[in-house]
Chain A
Amino acid sequence: MTSYALYLGCIGPLRYPDIENSIRLTFKELGIELVDMEGATCCPAPGAGFKNFDELAALTVSARNISIAEELGLDVMTFCGGCQGSLNWANKLLQSDPERKSRVNEILSEMGREYRGTAKVKHLVEVVYEDIGVDRIKKIANDRLEGFKVAVHYGCHVLRPYRVEELDDPEKPHMLDDLVKAWGAESLEFPEKHTCCGAGGGLFANDRDLSLSIMRKKMVQIKELEADMLIDICPFCHMQFDLGQMQLREKGEDFSTPVFYYNQVLALLMGFDRNKVAFIENTPRDDVIRRILATERA
């Protein structure tokens, strides 16, 4: 059986645990074992928190997290762009830089830990694409979402910097598009498709208005295309779109595109109870969930 150490991060388990559960349930059913990383912490984020103040502190926190997976003898699977960005950056930098690695291990040894550099760090989208595969998703979905218009959002740190992630072409990625098309749905093209959600780098908290205006530009196009839903693969981007649209509504604007993490819709298509996989939201999803569930009988 394929197994990964499941790295949870912060926003997923502590704000949108329905995303976490949708991942746990779908992976279990699809035969991929996810082993908990007990005592893992914040990754820490690529442009918020410790990384703003001290590179070695950020590297040490990441290395500590990765060392938990190393002890399990497993590669890490993240499901957040920010976590992926932080952990993969730290892992690759430390694997190639013995001096930094020994400075990190000097601190880790005081807590009885050691970072070896033996594990890989993969984002969920890679695992779904490579280990589960588009064909398997196609069989599950059976074209049920034909006629649904989907706006996909990869999130910056899943793809960039390319020399760290080396996953999909950051200028024209295809993995998430393919995985959405595998449901039978249409993946929309629009000018701001690959623009940042505006939440990263600490901007979400540092300047909420500016952060929202970056998101708004994207949402205007998604709304014009009458997308049935926005699909993301990062709980932090997810929070930006879900909560952010509510905040725009509070300012009198009309933005209400339903937002899902990829596995939430996959879980619905696999027959999991909505109340276990997609029920925490600030922007209502009832209508589109009803339409998704109605396709079962069609």
Chain B
Amino acid sequence: MEVIELKNADRTLPQRVKEFGGIDLLACYQCGTCSSDCPVGTEFFFRIRRIMRKAALGLSEQVLPAKDIWCCTTCFTCFDRCPQDAKPTDVILALRRVAAREGYTPQASRNTSANITKFGHAVPSLEEIEKKREAMGLPARPPTAATYPEAIREIQLIVKKRGIAEIIRFNWEKMELEG
């Protein structure tokens, strides 16, 4: 059996989780309702109940670098069913925010934010789709940021104000992610 030495625990973690949006982390009483209803847990050894406990105990080294926190689909089933209203989905999002500030961010998640920064959309417009739009009588590009570059500049202002580029390591000169 694995022995967890709490004297080595990161006492700041529960507080950081709260600051980043997981405000009811400590309400969790480990009933396991969340894990038993989780669509990811049935396919992969991902246990939201364990993550709740580990975060409360401050086991940063186990929680922050692991891929688990990035496997939640944010389906909000646990959020709706938790008898303690501990809001596990919010805790997952908070843990992602804490992990990202320590440099643990999956490439795909950085990519999505880089796309929003570059295009104002999570995915770029593609020529192949633009042709299909025109064939239906729609404009090649939708009347969104895909058509109005000033909208993209407004998103970039938000990115700058909130420090997202630093977190995802986005290079403004190259307009690409670093590494």
Contact = CB atoms under 8 A, between A and B. Distances in A.
Interface in A182-211: 195-196, 198-203, 205-207, 210-211
A15 B122 CA distance: 11
B73 A14 contact: no
B121 A217 contact: no
B78 to A, nearest CB: 10
B96 A64 contact: no
A36 B141 CA distance: 13
Interface stretch (B8-16, B24-32, B37-45, B57-65): B37-45
Interface stretch (A38-46, A128-136, A250-258, A284-292): A38-46
A123 to B, nearest CB: 15
A107 interface: yes
Contact of A206 (B92, B106, B152, B159): B106
A156 B120 CA distance: 24
A51 interface: yes
Give the bracket for the number of chain A residues in contact with chain B.
Answer: 35 or more
Contacts of A40: 144-145, 151
Contacts of B93: 47, 51-52, 55
Contact of B158 (A57, A196, A199): A57
A38 B148 contact: yes
Interface string B107-151: 011011101100011111110010011011110001111111011
A61 B159 CA distance: 9
A38 B143 contact: yes
A108 B148 CA distance: 17
A2 B148 CA distance: 27
B157 interface: yes
A196 B168 CA distance: 28
Contacts of A157: 74, 76
A49 B116 contact: yes
B138 A21 contact: yes
B97 A54 contact: yes
B122 A49 contact: yes
B108 A41 contact: no
B67 A207 contact: yes
Contact of A210 (B21, B44, B146, B148): B44
B126 A195 contact: no
A55 B72 contact: no
